[in-house]
Amino acid sequence: MDQPRWLNEDESRAWHALIAGWSLLNRQIEAQLKNDAGLSHVQYEVLVRLDAAPGGRLRMTELADALFNSKSGLTYQIGQLEKAGLVRRELCSTDVRGVNASLTDAGRDALRQAAPGHVGLVREAFIDVLTPEQLTAIAEGLGKVAHRMQSPTAERPGRDGRSR
């Protein structure tokens, strides 16, 4: 078996900074959203995506893909939002097998209530801490990572560190 390519000091530092930064930021985001609107971060992102969609409606499969969430995980979150009256599920008019998630007026209100605090926190804890060059580097670098992970033909390393 080939030896893995161990991370050097700079690579390890970058990896650990990503994990720590995201974990701490996400913890604050979760607390802010729970406090301001009784929402989880995923639920907030569902409302954001639906609000941006034409007619406030998206197919569940499109929504799961946009949120990088499993279909079962999204179904659970939509169920919670539906119980709260923030979204509703509807049959898709163009495909009898499809289901849409649709934003309700109460969902729009919850989003309006949560958004100012959320954007303020994102700005204070992330955007304003970094220089424009650092923001560009993060956007480009993590954009490449996301693109690679989404590509169906991408060669991804296996657990042993080797490419498959």
DSSP 13-69: HHHHHHHHHHHHHHHHHHHHHHHHHS--HHHHHHHHHHHHSGGGEEEHHHHHHHHT-
Residue 136 has pLDDT above 90, yes or no: yes
pTM, two decimals, is: 0.84
**Please, what is the average pLDDT of the chain?**
90
Task: Map residue 80 onto helix, strand or coil.
Answer: helix
What is the pLDDT confidence band of residue 103, given thresholds at 50, 70 and 90?
A: very high
Percent with pLDDT over 90 in the chain: 73
- With respect to CATH, is domain 21-148 assigned 1.10.10.10? yes
Residue 85 has pLDDT above 70, yes or no: yes
Structure tokens at 87: 């979204």
Q: What is the pLDDT of residue 154?
A: 55
Residue 164 has pLDDT above 70, yes or no: no
Across the range 20-29, mean pLDDT stands at 96
Structure tokens at 144: 């490449």
Across the range 8-31, mean pLDDT stands at 96
Q: What is the pLDDT of residue 153?
A: 65
Q: What is the pLDDT of residue 158?
A: 53
Angstrom distance (rounded) from CA 162 to CA 157? 5
Residue 72 has pLDDT above 70, yes or no: yes
Q: What is the pLDDT of residue 159?
A: 47
DSSP 81-105: HHHTTSEEEEE-SS-TT-EEEEE-H
For residues 103 and 117, is the Cβ–Cβ distance under 8 A?
Answer: no
What is the pLDDT confidence band of residue 156, given thresholds at 50, 70 and 90?
A: low
Across the range 140-157, mean pLDDT stands at 80
